[in-house]
Amino acid sequence: MRNGMAGREHGERMNTRTNTRTNARPVAPRGKSSASNGAGRGGARPAHANGAGRDRTRAAHANGARRDRARAAHANGGRATRRELQTIAKCPTGISGLDEVTFGGLPRGRPTLVCGGAGCGKTLMSVEFLVRGVVEFDEPGVFVSFEESEDEIAKNVASLGFDLPSLVSKRKLAIEHIRVERSEIAETGEYDLEGLFIRLQLAFDTVGAKRVVLDTIESLFGGLSDTAILRAELRRLFRWLKERGVTAVVTAERGDGALTRQGLEEYVSDCVILLDNRVVEQLTTRRLRIVKYRGSFHGTNEFPFLIDETGISVLPVTALALDHEASTERVSSGIPRLDAMLGAHGYYRGSSILVSGTAGTGKSSIAAHFANATCAAGERCLYFAFEESESQILRNTRSIGIDLKRWVDRGLLRFVPTRPTSYGLEMHLAVMHKCIDRYDPHAVVVDPMTNLSKAGTRTETNRMLLRLVDHLKTRQTTALFTNLTRGGGHLEATESEVSSIMDTWLLLRDTESSGERNRVLYVLKSRGMAHSNQVREFRLTDDGVQLLDVYVGPGGVLTGAARMAQEAREAEEDEARRQEFGSRERALEQKRVALEAQIAALRGSLAAEEAELAGLRRREQQQHRREAGARAAIADRRWADRASSPASRSPHRNGRP
Amino acid sequence: MAARRTRPSKKNAPPAAVERPGRAPDPAVESYDLRLYVAGQTPRSTAALANLKRLCDEHLAGRYRLEIIDLMRFPTLARDHQILAIPTLVRQLPQPLKKIIGDLSNTERTLVALDLQRSI
């Protein structure tokens, strides 16, 4: 049983993957190698096709696996088979975000109840369900209206870009207006609603309906008084709808203390979606919650949604799976020394970068560098500006030597300047999502994200950013957020508490010393790469941002003029030391020379003495020889015994013995 | 679903056409133009028809025209004529248009609804 459950979950996830259309994005490497703009675009498209192909294979695989499991379950006694079938049948709504929240869509072939108060978008959601069904999934639909006429409905949804008349004329959509006027109707005796069934059947047959919407079927309770009959007929209706296998959406007004006024949830129990429209701090947020979804996992939270010119977008608070691909590709920050600090290559593609700092520390300049580097690599960058207008940013970046205008002209850079207070957070998020999905950028800059908190409470902002980061990560879009830290606030904290979801965090800081403020930068964290732990001085020059080594010594960290003074001082000391060394060397040399001269003199005198000694010895020997000769001559004359007396020896000896 | 049409034409109703020819001028004070919508031959429809016939013969003898429309055969008419419940009796004439739903078992109510009796 446990195994079965695990298997089912697996299947579920597979299913979700294939069905969530918005999430099915390519994770293929973007054309960084293809430097030119045109090639970059061309390169990206086939990758998309590839991605889709892979998804299909995955789907096929999931199907196969599911079939196998179903077979196995059948062999087990069929108990699990019912569960299998329940998870299989889902009908994608095509409504952005709703399919993620419901893990694939509404229960196929079953009725779903959409309830909520007045003006919370029930009708719009149901119309969009039908229109998307026709347009995206080729599933014709029938709209049964108990309140508004065909014309009225068509006009109402035309503002969302839905062209109902054309769908009707193509026989893809049928609108059935059922008018129940109590004043016109008298009831005598028993009746049934066979007429309704006939009309539904007729409408189904005209278009071959796979989807049907019953917009506020509760109106029947207003038109007919015999509730016993009505309830019986409703029960029959929902059974009938199930038999026909159409996926139905039934809308109902919210009642007091109950989901619907007439307790429709009693009949429609497979899936109940509750819509809500709340005003908090004068900002309205629409929210959606799946109250129940029989036989399926579903997101249980309240998900904000909004209605704009393209229909409904439900925004899952977080991505449903934390399974975005982690790229090892690097993208440049646009500042060579910053790249060097980040393991020599810059940021990871698809990572989220937070640049935080107090006012005027150069956050926007770092952002501008990044945008510039992205465009220079031939990639598209989307710049959400919440503080400055486009021309202001262009002017300011030009002053530090970055020409962003050329990228704007080439279509590689797009600015989306918005006032944070112009609309609520959800709308902001949706607008951003839409811009991102439409422009399909490789990099996104949000400058500054702090300003968004003006549009909502802190938790809301936090959640919204979380969703945005999730969305970007899923898309493998590198995102740079700047965050203004308020003076006095803790530097290593962001107001909206999003630092934990950021991959790289650059901290910019002012240091005030010797009458000037200087900027320093350091990498607070950078996941998955060796990064420098050094504090760098950060300077804005005419050629952009420059990072310099700061002076770190016994006197602390010195920057700016203090650093320069310190450097000068050190240079001076260096010079002095060098000079001292030189003079010592010279002195030593002189000493050596003197010593050597002395040695030479001593040697000379020694040699002279030796020569003198040798002369003496020579003279002495000559003397000896002369004396010996003389002695010999004397001996000759005296006829002395020659053998006993060596001539050289003492001559006296000869005389004595 | 074998919808056998129920069309026992009463009085001067045209034999086969659903399309009602223009209202025939009648010497009586008010000419009643009635339509009964049914769906197949259900007990309820049969009962309604029987009740209606009896009622008309009693109160509208000679000054009414009745048409029975089987929606099983002409389902588009359910849409065109905004029929929801079965059986439905529609009083086309005299104006205003009135819809009476149910098997007409409550004669009093039916008569009131048809303005044939002031009150119950």
Question: How confident is residue A622, by pLDDT bands cut at 50, 70 and 90?
Answer: very high
Amino acid at A381: C
Q: Is A429 in contact with A462 (CB distance < 8 Å)?
A: no
Q: Is A225 on the interface with B (CB under 8 A)?
A: no
Q: Give residue A359's pLDDT.
A: 80
- Does the pLDDT value for residue A47 go beyond 70? no
Alpha-helical regions (H) of B30-86: 43-59, 75-80
* pLDDT surpassing 60 at residue A480: yes
Q: CA of B90 to nearest chain A CA: how many angstroms apart? A: 9
Confidence at residue A588, expressed as pLDDT on a 0 to 100 scale: 94
Closest to A241 measured CA to CA, from A131, A108, A116: A108
Structure tokens of A534? Answer: 């050094």
> Where are the strands (E) in B1-120, listed by range?
32-38, 64-70, 88-93, 98-101
Who contacts A381 (Cβ-Cβ below 8 Å, separation ≥6)? A370, A371, A374, A375, A407, A412, A413, A414, A441, A442, A443, A444, A445
How much of chain A exceeds pLDDT 90, in percent?
14
Instruction: Note the pLDDT of residue B51.
Output: 86
Mean pLDDT value across residues A496-503: 74
Q: Would you call A184 and B98 a contact, using CB atoms and an 8 Å cutoff?
A: yes
Whether A90 shows a pLDDT value over 60: the answer reads: yes
Calculate the CA B37 to chain-centre distance. Answer: 7
A582-613, pLDDT tens digit by residue? Answer: 999 999 999 999 999 999 999 999 999 999 99
Q: Which of A180, A198, A224 should be substituted to probe chain B, the one whose Cβ sees the most B Cβ atoms within 10 Å? A: A198
Residue A1 above 50 pLDDT?
no
Instruction: Yes or no: say if A352 and A390 are a contact pair by the CB < 8 Å rule.
Output: no
**Interface contact flag, A190 B103, Cβ < 8 Å:** yes
Partner A, chain B 31-50, Cβ-Cβ below 8 Å: 37, 39, 42, 44, 47-48
Average pLDDT on A112-138 reads 88
Range among A81-90, A625-634, A647-656 rated most confident: A625-634
Bridge-partner residues for A75, per DSSP?
none
| Minimal Cβ distance to B39: which of A190, A194, A220 | A194
pLDDT of residue A555: 62
How, if at all, do strands A211-215 and A283-293 pair? Answer: unpaired
H or E stretch at B17: none
| pLDDT computed for residue A646 by the predictor | 52
Beta strand spans in A466-617 (E): 478-484, 504-513, 516-526, 536-541, 544-549, 551-553, 556-558
The more confidently predicted of residues A657 and A472 is A472
Instruction: Please give the mean pLDDT across all residues of chain A.
Output: 78
A299 or A145: which leads in pLDDT: A145
Is A201 in the B-facing interface, judged by CB distances under 8 Å? yes
- State the pLDDT confidence band at A491, using cuts at 50, 70 and 90: low
Closest C-alpha to A464, from A508, A503, A415, A427: A427
* Mean predicted confidence (pLDDT) in A78-86: 46
Using 50, 70 and 90 to split pLDDT, how confident is the model at A497? low
Is B44 a member of any domain? yes
Q: Report the residue of B35, B89, B101 to disrupt the A interface, i.e. the one with the largest count of A CBs within 10 Å.
A: B101
Higher pLDDT, A52 or B117: B117
Question: Could A196 and B76 be called an inter-chain contact, meaning their C-beta atoms sit closer than 8 Å?
Answer: no
Residue B10 within any structural domain of the chain: no
CB atoms within 10 A of CB A469: 23
Mean pLDDT throughout A560-581? 86
B99 touches A: beta carbon within 8 Å: yes
Cβ of A188 and B79 within 8 Å?
no
Range in A8-12, A161-165, A236-240, A257-261 with the lowest mean pLDDT: A8-12
Is the pLDDT at A412 greater than 60? The verdict is yes
Tokens of A286: 């629409």
Domain count, chain B: 1
Q: How far is CA A183 from the centre of its chain?
A: 61
**What does chain B come to in residues?**
120
CA distance A43 to A440: 13
Give the pLDDT band of residue A525 (cuts 50, 70, 90): confident
pLDDT band (50, 70, 90) for residue A66: very low
* Closest approach of A250 to chain B, Cα-based (Å): 18
- Report yes or no: B85 at the A interface, CB cutoff 8 Å: yes
Query: Maximum Cα–Cα distance for chain A, whole Å?
Result: 199
Q: Is A70 on the interface with B (CB under 8 A)?
A: no
Query: What CATH number did the domain enclosing B53 receive?
Result: 3.40.30.10
Span of A76-80, A237-241, A435-439, A443-447 with lowest mean pLDDT = A76-80
Q: Supply the pLDDT for residue B5.
A: 43
Most confidently modeled range among A209-218, A219-228, A555-564: A209-218
What is the per-residue pLDDT for A602? 94
pLDDT of the residue at A62: 43
Superfamily assignment of A330-549 in CATH? P-loop containing nucleotide triphosphate hydrolases (3.40.50.300)
Three-state DSSP class for residue A178 = coil
Query: Which candidate, A51, A71, A49, A60, places its Cα nearest to that of A14?
Result: A60
How large is the average pLDDT for residues A309-330?
72
HEC profile for A350-396? CCEEEEEECCCCCHHHHHHHHHHHHHHCCCCEEEEECCCCHHHHHHH
Q: Tell me, yes or no, if A188 comes closer than 8 A to chain B by beta carbon.
A: yes
Q: How far is A390 from chain B (nearest CA, A)?
A: 57
Nearest CB partner across the interface for A195, out of B86, B103, B106: B86
Interface mutation target, options A145, A182, A188, chain B, most CBs of B under 10 Å: A188
- Would you give per-residue pLDDT tens digits along chain B (120 residues)? 334 444 444 444 444 444 444 444 434 467 888 888 888 888 888 888 888 888 888 887 778 888 888 888 888 888 888 888 888 888 887 878 888 888 888 888 888 888 776 654
Compare A158 and B1 and report the one with higher pLDDT: A158
State how far the Cα of A406 lies from the Cα of A509, in Å rounded to an integer: 31
Tokens, residue A486: 């308020």
Q: State how far the Cα of B85 lies from the Cα of A237, in Å rounded to an integer.
A: 13
pLDDT tens figures, A105-123: 888 888 898 988 888 888 8
Range(s) of the domain holding residue B40: 32-113
DSSP A56-118: HHHHHHHHHHHHHHHHHHHHTTSTTHHHHHHHH-EE----BTHHHHTTSSEETTSEEEEEEST
Q: Is residue A306 pLDDT above 90, yes or no?
A: no
pLDDT of A258 above 80: no
Lowest mean pLDDT among A140-149, A336-345, A452-461: A452-461
CATH architecture, domain defined by A89-183+191-323: 3-Layer(aba) Sandwich (3.40)
Residues B7 and B48: beta-carbon distance below 8 Å: no
What is the rounded CA–CA span in Å between residue B17 and residue A101? 54
Complex-level ipTM: 0.76
Angle between helices A37-75 and A2-19 (to 10 degrees): 150
pLDDT at position A322 is: 63
Predicted confidence at residue A318, as pLDDT, reads: 52
Domain boundary assignment for chain A: 1-83, 89-183+191-323, 330-549
* Model confidence, pTM: 0.60
